[in-house]
Amino acid sequence: MSDCIFCKIINGEIPSAKVFENDDVLAFLDISQVTKGHTLVIPKIHKKDVFDLEAETAEKLFSVVPAISRALRSEFDLNGLNMINNNGSFAGQEVFHYHLHLVPRYNEKDGIIQKKFISHQSEYTADDLQQIASTINQAIQP
């Protein structure tokens, strides 16, 4: 896609600090460096978001994530790692080329506001959960 910044990085039109590259996947440092080592992992084929991503591309991308994560852990004194993926504008996606953020966590003051999930457990019975699960299960198309 000619106007996609990540496609331009893949094609070498925009420089990047490459962490990993093979025929299918590119990982490079995010220019924002929310924390030291903040890495983006992207498929080399343009896919807008997870809804556009097929299993084969996802397998290729996620197959390298553990090695990159372990490298971050071994080289930096991190205490954890957030894997962040936003899909769609409402969810916070800004670059519409599928990407996974690997954000090393160092301490509670490392620049990330940790948001907790708000539980709505009391609003759903076990039967409600089974119905929701069944609805999703019936709609799954591999």
Active-site residues, by number, are 99
φ, ψ for residue 41 (rounded to 5)?
Answer: -115, 125
Alpha carbon distance 20, 131 (integer Å): 42
Could you give the CA distance from residue 60 to residue 26 in angstroms, rounded to a whole number? 11
What's the half-sphere exposure (Cβ side, CA atoms, 13 Å) at 111? 10
* Tokens linked to 81: 């790692």
CA 6 – CA 80 distance, rounded (Å): 26
